[in-house]
């Protein structure tokens, strides 16, 4: 049985691939890429059909962050020309959310820059959650407010939050290379706090920061072990004015391999194409829908995204359908086991007995197929051609007087 047949079989059984198999996916050639996409697509369709869940970001507080995350346009010392504003009022945030919901989104992600929220900030966000839920029946709300202190996750859950996002971003061994003001362990602790409070955990990665294939596999296996219900895969947007502005390591083909690897390792979770898809996947975005079952609609936190109308047309043209508000995203075995919008059943992706296993969104708080398995290179991929023309700062929506892109 060749590599891809093995991976499909394991994915349908929710069985963890070996590290060598995951690395082999990243090492496949361009000639084998469509075979890789087709194989991972079988796993995606088995658990999620042809549905695509739409999510919408609302940046509650932009810029002015005291943390030094190298990838982030809102970081301490960032010279990126992004929007900077303090907390939106609950009615302002609710109005911004309504635009995304009108465009077909079923989840609103409320994001605020900073290390973490004070208790007063949690009160403010709780009021925003209540306002959104009162005006939009059935909407899911995910909060992304940085590191959680004791009791804060429980308060957000009581206010009506369904989920909490906090990305691991990269492997534990390289984490200190991108951030020094908090630790990898801090991030793990926050995801665990969200789990413990009964929130649906959302945690993902950022690809394209110069990491090795081993780093990518490490972080995805760590995510499987943490068992989030959704895994956003971000592709670095190299903003001018940030330390990683010159990091252009991604091609559309590499992005597809990364998404396929994530799908094989975490077959039954919501895999979301998050920040950077327009910059790095470009015209290959529709092909990526065969791997991921979730995307963000419209603009991101600090950068512009594809027009919301174009997102909807892309989904339809690729033969997929927007997931309805009344549809359950997760497979039954996860959705019925309790815990926010999904579950943490012992045999699911990231099951704790299975021995192993956001959105960056431009600066937010990602062998051969026909034969044997071979290891992937330990060094970062050669730099791709920079596409700085595709990096556009968001100038509309939340924090402005202009209509949002949804």
Domain of 39, in residue numbers: 3-371
Phi and psi at residue 110, to the nearest 5°: -95, 115
Residue of 321, 297, 267 whose CA lies nearest to 405: 297
The mean pLDDT value for 56-71 works out to: 91
**Of 272, 277, 334, 394, which one is the catalytic site residue?**
272
| Host H or E run for residue 3 | helix 3-12
The mean pLDDT value for 92-119 works out to: 94
Is residue 320 over pLDDT 50?
yes
Q: Within a domain: residue 383?
A: no
**Of 44, 65, 224, 365, which one is the catalytic site residue?**
65
Is residue 118 over pLDDT 90?
yes
Q: How many CA atoms lie within 13 A of 262 on its CB side?
A: 34
Is residue 353 over pLDDT 50?
no
**Of 44, 107, 142, 394, which one is the catalytic site residue?**
142
Q: What angle do CA 73, 282, 405 make, to 5 degrees?
A: 60
**Of 107, 109, 224, 254, which one is the catalytic site residue?**
109
Helix (H, G, I), strand (E, B) or coil at 78: coil
Is residue 69 annotated as a catalytic residue, yes or no?
Answer: yes
Q: Within a domain: residue 31?
A: yes
Instruction: Give the chain's mean pLDDT.
Output: 89
Residues 35, 40, 43, 47: is their CA dihedral positive or negative? negative
Q: Within a domain: residue 245?
A: yes
| Host H or E run for residue 381 | none
Question: pTM score, two decimals?
Answer: 0.90
Is residue 375 over pLDDT 60?
no
Residue 361 near residue 303, CB atoms below 8 Å: yes
Confidence at residue 406, expressed as pLDDT on a 0 to 100 scale: 85
Residue 303 near residue 386, CB atoms below 8 Å: no
Helix (H, G, I), strand (E, B) or coil at 241: coil
**Of 14, 72, 157, 255, which one is the catalytic site residue?**
72
Q: How many domains does the chain have?
A: 1
Is residue 202 annotated as a catalytic residue, yes or no?
Answer: yes
The mean pLDDT value for 191-210 works out to: 97
Task: Please report, rounded to a whole number, the percentage of residues in the chain having pLDDT higher than 70.
Answer: 88
Express each pLDDT in 181-200 by its tens digit. Answer: 999 999 999 999 999 999 99
Confidence at residue 83, expressed as pLDDT on a 0 to 100 scale: 84
Q: Within a domain: residue 392?
A: no
Express each pLDDT in 48-63 by its tens digit. Answer: 999 999 999 999 999 8
Q: Within a domain: residue 388?
A: no
Residue 335's pLDDT band, with cuts at 50, 70 and 90, is: confident
Q: Within a domain: residue 250?
A: yes
Q: Within a domain: residue 398?
A: no
Helix (H, G, I), strand (E, B) or coil at 303: strand
The mean pLDDT value for 84-106 works out to: 94
Is residue 272 annotated as a catalytic residue, yes or no?
Answer: yes
Express each pLDDT in 283-304 by its tens digit. Answer: 999 999 999 999 999 998 888 9
The mean pLDDT value for 161-176 works out to: 97
**Of 69, 266, 341, 349, which one is the catalytic site residue?**
69
Q: Within a domain: residue 256?
A: yes
For position 218, which CATH number holds? 3.20.20.70
Confidence at residue 338, expressed as pLDDT on a 0 to 100 scale: 53
DSSP 104-135: T-SEEEEEE-SSB--HHHHHHHHHHHHHHHHH
**Of 14, 44, 187, 202, which one is the catalytic site residue?**
202
The mean pLDDT value for 212-225 works out to: 98
| Measured distance CA(74)–CA(65) in Å, rounded | 6
Is residue 11 over pLDDT 50?
yes
Confidence at residue 81, expressed as pLDDT on a 0 to 100 scale: 83
What pairs with residue 107 in β-bridges?
Answer: 55, 140
Confidence at residue 73, expressed as pLDDT on a 0 to 100 scale: 86
Is residue 109 annotated as a catalytic residue, yes or no?
Answer: yes
Is residue 51 annotated as a catalytic residue, yes or no?
Answer: no
Confidence at residue 280, expressed as pLDDT on a 0 to 100 scale: 97
């Amino acid at each position: 049985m060749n590599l891809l047949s093995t991976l499909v079989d394991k994915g349908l059984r929710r069985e963890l691939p070996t590290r060598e198999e995951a690395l082999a996916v990243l090492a496949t050639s361009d000639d084998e890429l469509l075979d890789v996409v087709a194989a991972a697509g079988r796993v995606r369709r088995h658990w999620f059909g042809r549905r695509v869940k739409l999510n919408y970001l609302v940046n509650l507080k932009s810029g002015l962050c005291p943390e030094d995350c190298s990838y982030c346009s809102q970081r301490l010392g960032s010279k990126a020309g992004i929007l900077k504003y303090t907390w939106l009022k609950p009615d302002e945030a609710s109005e911004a959310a309504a635009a995304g919901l009108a465009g077909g989104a079923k989840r609103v992600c409320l994001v605020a820059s900073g290390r973490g929220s004070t208790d007063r900030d949690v009160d403010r966000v709780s009021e925003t959650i209540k306002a959104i839920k009162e005006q939009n029946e059935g909407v899911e709300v995910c909060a992304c407010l940085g590191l959680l202190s004791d009791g804060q996750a429980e308060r957000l859950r009581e206010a009506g939050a369904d989920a909490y996002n906090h990305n691991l971003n990269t492997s534990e061994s390289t984490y200190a290379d991108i951030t020094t003001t908090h630790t990898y362990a801090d991030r793990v602790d926050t995801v665990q706090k969200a789990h413990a409070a009964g929130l649906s955990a959302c945690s993902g990665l950022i690809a394209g920061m110069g990491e090795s294939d081993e780093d990518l596999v490490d972080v995805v296996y760590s995510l499987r072990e943490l068992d989030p219900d959704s895994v956003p895969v971000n592709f670095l947007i190299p903003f001018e004015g940030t330390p990683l502005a010159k990091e252009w390591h991604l091609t559309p083909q590499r992005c597809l391999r990364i998404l396929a690897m994530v799908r094989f390792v975490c077959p039954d979770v919501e895999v979301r194409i998050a920040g950077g898809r327009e910059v790095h996947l470009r015209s290959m975005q529709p092909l990526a829908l065969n791997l991921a079952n979730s995307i963000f609609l419209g603009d991101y936190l600090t950068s512009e995204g594809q027009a919301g109308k174009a997102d909807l047309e892309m989904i339809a043209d690729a033969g997929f359908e927007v997931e309805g508000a009344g549809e359950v995203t997760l497979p039954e075995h996860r959705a019925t086991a309790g815990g926010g919008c999904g579950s943490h059943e012992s045999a699911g992706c990231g099951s704790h007995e299975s021995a192993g296993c956001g959105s960056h969104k431009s600066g937010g708080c990602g062998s051969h197929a026909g034969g044997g398995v071979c290891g992937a290179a330990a060094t970062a991929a050669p730099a791709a051609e920079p596409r700085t023309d595709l990096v556009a700062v968001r100038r509309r929506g939340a924090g402005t007087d202009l209509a949002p892109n949804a």
